[in-house]
Each structure stands twice: as structure tokens, then as C-alpha cells.
Structure 1
Amino acid sequence: MGWVTGIMVYFLCWWTVLFAILPFGIQPDADGAHQTGGWRGAPRQPLIVSKVIWTTVVATVVWLGIYLLVTSDWLSFRHGWLAMTPK
């Protein structure tokens, strides 16, 4: 995996993990207070900074797993049991 591909895969992992982590710890404001913009579904404390930190940690672990899988010979389309047969 080249460095450009690695950065793009990390970017995609990061965004996917972000949307997976965003709902954790959310307590919607049932009253629709003025502090939350008046929306009843808006969270009281979104905790965005901690979610970005957790997203970065989890995305790094996921990216390392993908990197190890791509660079290993265990899952290869060039040789091994997934390789195409020569014509």
C-alpha cells in the first residue's frame, strides 16, 4: 500500500468510525431548552472533543489491521488460494 492510498484508507476509516461513535453517550434534551437551540432531539452535551479523540484511536487500530492484512501474503490476489488461474 502506497502512502497516498494509506492516507485515503485512513481518511475513510476515520469518517466511518466517527459516525459509529457519535451516538454513544448522547442524552437528548426532552424539553427543548434554549441552550440546545430549542430542538428537543439536540444533545445536552455532545462531547465532540472526546469523540474525535476516540475516533482517532479506534480508526488508527482499524487502519493498522487493514494495513497488516493488505501487506501480508495471507490475503493476496497475486498468489495463494485467491489468485487467478493463468490462461
Structure 2
Amino acid sequence: MPIGPVTMFAIYVVCWWVVLFTVLPLGTSQEVHEPPTDGTQWGAPKTPNLKRKFITTTWVSALVWLLVMVLVFIGWMPLPDLAPPV
């Protein structure tokens, strides 16, 4: 096994955050909004659908993580050995 479970989990967390920031803008409209009168921001969506986006992020990042793990295990994307020499 070229990498340990902690490293695998860390790679999954990085994949999850990268996918989250790519999924967040999906489904937002580009229409012109009236000036907000209730103190909200101009760019805030009316319905952000965060639960749906988190679920989408989780399964898409699992697929990305699986692809990265396959590439690491077959040797196409080797990770550096950072352990000190014994």
C-alpha cells in the first residue's frame, strides 16, 4: 500500500472542498435583482439549496477521490515519500 488511511482521508477532504467550490455556483440565476431592502447581500441567492449541493459534493468528490486513488496505486501519479530516512 503506497499511502496510509490518514493520507487517503486528507486527499478526500481536499477533493471535497475543491468540488464544493465548483458546485456552489450551480443553479444560481444571473437575472437582475431589485435592491435588497431586508439587509441581505446583492449576490445572495433566494434559494441556495445547500443540502442538495452538499450531497452532490459528497458523491462527486468520492468519484474524484476514487480516480485519484487509482492513479496513485497504478503509479501514474506517485506521491513523494516524505518519511525521514532510517
Give the match for residue 63 of structure 1: 65
Count of aligned residue pairs for this structure pair: 74
C-alpha change, 1:33 and 1:4, in structure 2 (3 Å) is same
Q: Which has the larger radius of gyration?
A: 1
Alpha-carbon distance in structure 1 between the residues aligned to 2:27 and 2:77: 40
Identity percentage of aligned residues? 38
1:40 counterpart letter in structure 2: W
* Alpha-carbon contact 1:10-1:60 (below 8 Å) kept: yes
Give the match for residue 42 of structure 2: 40
TM-score by length of 1: 0.75
TM-score by length of 2: 0.76
* TM superposition outliers: structure 1 runs of 4+ over 4 Å: none
Segments of structure 1 that go 5 or more residues without pairing to the other structure are 78-87
- Equivalent residue in structure 1 for 2:33, among 30, 34, 47: 30
C-alpha change, 1:50 and 1:69, in structure 2 (3 Å) is same
Q: Which has the higher contact order (CA 8 A, sep 6+)?
A: 2
Segments of structure 2 that go 5 or more residues without pairing to the other structure are 79-86
